[in-house]
């Protein structure tokens, strides 16, 4: 801010300067955030639309910054990508989510298994020997691979061209599940997609928003569900916020869904309360 008399001596535009400084400061803080244990994983339930059973949980990272407070991943993941810090952060996310999945399996041995979904960043997806890292984590934690699902965005897959198929097969061969995230936004050629060894398509939230109101969005949701069925993939709708959206998706035989209508992303402890209630007859 301007202090009388002193401002004419400043060389930089104060606005630009403070913004650049803030970014630099945030990058410095990000570097130390893992060791200071400032990251938290929240989990958003993924629900079987036919019967309301919780079948999975998507891990979503948050940064509890000591001065700034809660910072959303939309803000710090891009910064982490640019600085390369996404690799250690991503590994922490994977390890923490797998540990949590293992804990839930021990806690609910009689319940249908819960899949934990983890988002992969572009740098992680391009990392050589990613499959070895994941295999090590699964072995160390003794988590059955089918209980882990990796979410990779459609645009990330398209950027990589033919290398994508090789990477996907290496991951798939571990026995884990794969989902294409934000489906519908990445302009993929449908003929190309059938070569991807994936289990699930996640319809991007932006299309669910217009479901029943916007003609194009509605047509896209219909088409993606039909397409998934034709390729024998499971299909999950993101961002379900209303009962109307839910009933339309049920009528279309969409397999699964997640969104504020069911639950926001919540802490692991809150998930437990929800599952206990969900299990009640
Ligand atoms: P995403 O993977 O598409 O995750 C879904 C986002 O939509 C989450 O935002 C979630 O809180 C939000 N959401 C869920 N249901 C609703 C709804 O009904 N309405 C609305 N308006 N929003 C809903 P969040 O947690 O802020 O994450 C944003 C993005 O950050 C994620 O998008 C993902 O791309 C990225 N991200 C989050 N955690 C991680 C992580 O651990 N690793 C990586 N690489 N990326 C992550
Ligand atoms: Ca996701
Ligand atoms: Ca998504
Ligand atoms: Ca998204």
Distance between Cα 88 and ligand 3 center (Å): 22
- Give the pLDDT of residue 187: 66
Ranges 14-28, 151-165, 240-254, most confident: 240-254
What pLDDT does residue 20 have?
79
CA 124 to ligand 1: nearest atom: 44
E strand map for the chain: 39-48, 54-65, 69-71, 115-119, 148-153, 177-183, 200-203, 234-237, 256-257
- Taking residue 88's Cβ as centre, other Cβ atoms within 10 Å add up to 14
Of all ligands present, the nearest one to the C-alpha of 241 is: 1
> Can you read off the two tokens belonging to residue 265?
């992303």
Mutate to test the pocket of ligand 1, among 30, 62, 77 (most ligand atoms within 8 A of CB): 77
The residue contributing the CA closest to ligand 1 atom 7 is 239
Q: Using 50, 70 and 90 to split pLDDT, how confident is the model at 191?
A: confident
pLDDT at 281 over 50: no
Q: Cα-flanking dihedrals φ and ψ of residue 206, to 5°? A: -60, -30
Three-state DSSP at 261 gives: coil
d(C-alpha 98, C-alpha 114), whole Å? 11
Q: Average per-residue pLDDT in the chain?
A: 90
Closest residue CA from atom 15 of ligand 1:
259
pLDDT digits 0-9 by tens, 44-76 = 999 999 999 999 999 999 999 999 999 999 999
3-state helix, strand, coil in the chain (%, to 5): 50, 20, 30
Q: What is the dihedral of CA 122, 125, 127, 128, to 10 degrees?
A: -150
Residue nearest to atom 9 of ligand 1 (CA): 60
Q: Tell which one of 72, 73, 260 to mutate to probe ligand 1, the residue whose CB is within 8 A of the most ligand atoms.
A: 73
What does the pLDDT read at residue 1? Answer: 42
Residue with CA nearest ligand 1 atom 32: 74
Write 156-165 long-range contacts (CB < 8 A, 24+).
156/120, 156/122, 156/125, 156/186, 157/186, 157/188, 157/196, 158/186, 158/187, 158/188, 159/122, 160/125, 160/126, 164/196, 165/195, 165/196
What pLDDT does residue 276 have? Answer: 87
Task: Report pTM.
Answer: 0.92
Which range of 8-22, 33-47, 181-195, 267-281 scores highest in mean pLDDT? It is 33-47
Find the angle CA(121)-CA(46)-CA(63) to the nearest 5 degrees: 45
Per-residue pLDDT at 107 exceeds 50: yes
* CA–CA gap between residue 279 and residue 38 (Å, rounded): 32
Q: Tell me: pLDDT of 81 over 90.
A: yes
Q: Indicate the pLDDT class of residue 193, thresholds 50, 70 and 90.
A: confident
């Amino acid at each position: 801010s301007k202090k009388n008399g002193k401002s004419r001596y400043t060389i930089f535009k104060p606005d630009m300067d403070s913004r650049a400084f803030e970014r630099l400061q945030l990058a410095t803080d990000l570097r130390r955030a893992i060791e200071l244990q400032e990251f938290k994983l929240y989990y958003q339930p993924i629900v079987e639309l036919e019967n309301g059973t919780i079948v999975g949980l998507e891990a979503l990272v948050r940064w509890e910054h000591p001065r700034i407070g809660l910072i959303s991943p939309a803000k710090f993941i891009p910064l982490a990508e640019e600085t390369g810090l996404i690799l250690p952060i991503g590994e922490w996310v994977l390890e923490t989510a797998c540990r949590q999945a293992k804990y839930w399996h021990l806690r609910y041995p009689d319940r249908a298994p819960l899949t934990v979904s983890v988002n992969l960043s572009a740098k992680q997806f391009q990392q050589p020997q990613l499959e070895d890292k994941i295999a090590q984590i699964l072995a160390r934690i003794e988590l059955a691979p089918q209980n882990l699902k990796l979410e990779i965005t459609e645009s990330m897959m398209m950027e990589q061209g033919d290398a994508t198929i090789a990477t996907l097969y290496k991951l798939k061969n571990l026995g884990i599940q794969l989902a294409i995230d934000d489906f519908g936004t990445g302009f993929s050629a449908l003929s190309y997609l059938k070569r991807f060894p994936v289990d699930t398509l996640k319809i991007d939230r932006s299309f669910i928003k217009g479901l029943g109101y916007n003609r194009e969005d509605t047509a896209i949701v219909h088409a993606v569900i039909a397409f998934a069925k034709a390729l024998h993939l499971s299909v999950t709708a993101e961002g379900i916020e209303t009962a109307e959206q839910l009933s339309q998706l049920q009528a279309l035989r969409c397999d699964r869904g997640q969104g504020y209508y069911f639950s926001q992303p919540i802490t692991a402890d809150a998930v437990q309360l929800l599952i206990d209630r969900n299990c009640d007859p």
